[in-house]
Structure 1
Amino acid sequence: MKRAATLAASALSLLSLATLTACGGGTEPDDAAGEPGPSASRPEQVPPARRLTGLMVTSADVDGFSVEKYGDEFALAKSPAEVTLDKPVCAPLAYAMNQLPLGEPRADLTRVLADKAGGLNSAHTYLTLTAHASGGAQSAMAGVRKALVACGDGFTAEGSGGTSTYDSVTTEDVAPAGDETLGFRSTMTFRGASHTLHTQVVRSGDVLGVYFSVNGMAIADARPSEAKLPPAVVKAQNAKLG
């Protein structure tokens, strides 16, 4: 798998990133005439990007984990349009496992979480949130469900950053979350070593959360691995989504 080296480089680069702390925006200025404006009786519409920032976990929400900004310099692709698949129906799974947004969101945000006690040999968890127009999140979730039915025997995804081949994809039970949730495990082989990756997709209203764990250093070193989603991270992010 051509992406193994980039996964390892990504894992190494995480140690040098400073922990991100998101700050809220300011308030609207008062109406100059002192009279209620046309929108005074309506709730302020929070921009989708700012809304996602408020919904994303921070280091304060997940004790023992750092929460870092995601850099796509080592990504399979920088956008879904750059990805080609041998089985197009599997596209939502490829996007979910490569920090690419599902559907056609109004905004998206990705963070990388690392266990502070785990060092370079531990898995990293990627959280991607997307905000959709009405009905968009449900449609994207349906695409994931359809892909899980069709892609059990694996697929190959190719992007500007390399190629990833998944040997198998299997649904797995996950704790109830949001309005609906799906979990799946995928396997891949590199230089004779087998790796198991875990992913969960949660829909809460018009927001999707995708949680994905991978051990990039193990893949680069050709050591067998299984990257499980940390329960504390999943619980904290589910709580933020509501």
Structure 2
Amino acid sequence: MKRSSRARTGAAVSVLALALITGCGGGSDGKDSSEGSDKGSDKASSPTTAAKAFSAAELEKLLLAQGEVKGYKVASGDDTLPKSKSDVKADKAACAPLAYAMAGLAPGETDANASNTVSKDPSADAASKAPEDLTEADIENAFDIDMTFVGLSSYQGDGAEKAVRAVSDGVAACSGGFGITAQGEQQKLTKVTAGKASGKGDESVAFSVDSAMDGAGTATFNTEVVRVGSTVTTYYTVNFVSAGAGKAAEIPAAVIDAQLAKLK
């Protein structure tokens, strides 16, 4: 990918992903909304009203930590993710839960929320070189990393189920796309499609969004929302090189599995 193409990709992703990542310039095909949700017969009937609701401080401790998922680096979301929902605006109310899920924020009504970033551990080859010794391939590979924004939110009563339902309903209501504003920047999402969920947890919903890329076509990004009892986990994965090549980065199953294991 040429440098100019990479810059355009980074600009689009920096708004869409709501991340200020050094070097960024400042999915699954859906069939219908039923495909985006997996509520196994036993899982859907499991009661959530008695499940423990966690505080924001408790959720921080339940986030994945460095060393807990092999082959990945874990970093605080303090510098890359929005602090609150006031930092993220969708131009359609029904689409707000989708925008929040993509930003590591609670898709439902709760103040108990925590988030971080989990990235594929890059090769150490380029990291060992002096800046003047870096090749174009080294620079390209530095962008070829899957980064997943992970969010945890917890709810009283049936709030977690309502949060997942809001996402599922939003996928159908926002299929024609919607606008999103983050950190003062606007981005047009041209399409939303239901994806094939992992089937993890008590229920899960997956969706993909297509984003306009400043005259350079569109890029597709994947999100999954998984509920475990009263806690909702969200995963949004970006890869600058994949996006520029017209391919959506898949959400790593290892990251989902490792995060859900901490909630059991």
State if a TM-score over 0.5 links the two structures: yes
Secondary structure of the equivalent of 1:226? coil
| Paired residue type of 1:65 | Y
> How far apart are the structure 2 equivalents of 1:148 and 1:78?
24
Are the counterparts in 1 of residues 54 and 155 from structure 2 also a CA contact under 8 Å? Answer: no
Match of 2:235 in 1: 211
Where does residue 40 of structure 2 map in the other structure? none
Distance 1:47 1:97, change over 3 A: closer
- Confirm or deny that 1:11 pairs with 2:11: no
- Which structure would you say has the larger RCO, counting Cα contacts within 8 Å and 6 or more residues apart? 2
Residue among 194, 215, 232 paired with 2:218? 194
Tell me the alpha carbon deviations over residues 137-190 of structure 1, each in whole angstroms, 9 at most, x when there is no partner.
122112111101111111111234311211111111122222111011111121
Note the residue ranges of structure 1 that are not aligned, 5 or more in a row: 15-44
For the pair shown, the structure with the greater C-alpha radius of gyration is 1
Residue 60 (structure 1) aligned with residue 58 (structure 2) = no
| Paired letter, 1:226 | A
Aligned residues: 208
Bigger mean CA deviation after superposition, 143-152 or 112-121: 112-121
More helix by share: 2
Quote the Cα distance in structure 2 between the aligned partners of 1:144 and 1:137: 11
Which residue is equivalent to 2:4?
Answer: none
Task: Answer yes or no: is 1:87 the counterpart of 2:71.
Answer: no
Q: In the alignment, which of 256, 259, 263 is matched to residue 234 of structure 1?
A: 256
How does the TM-score come out when normalised to structure 1?
0.74
Question: 1:106·1:133 contact (CA, 8 Å) conserved in 2?
Answer: no
- Alpha-carbon distance in 2 for matches of 1:46, 1:133: 6
CA RMSD in angstroms, aligned pairs only? 2.9
In structure 2, the residue matched to 1:165 is: 188
- Do 2:223 and 2:234's aligned partners in 1 also have CA atoms closer than 8 Å? yes
Measure how far apart 1:3 and its partner are.
Answer: 5.3
Secondary structure of 1:11's aligned partner:
coil
> 2:78 maps to which residue?
71
Q: Is the 8 A contact 1:67 1:113 kept in 2?
A: yes
Partner in structure 2 of residue 115 of structure 1: 120
- In structure 2, the CA distance between the partners of 1:47 and 1:129, relative to structure 1 (3 Å rule), is closer
- Per the normalisation by structure 2, the TM-score is 0.69
Q: Does residue 105 of structure 2 align to residue 100 of structure 1?
A: yes
Residue 102 to residue 47, structure 1, CA distance change in 2 (3 Å): closer
What runs of 5+ residues in structure 2 fail to find an aligned partner?
1-7, 25-51, 124-141
Contact 1:185–1:199 (8 Å) recurs in 2? yes
Contact 1:55 1:240 in 2 (8 A): yes
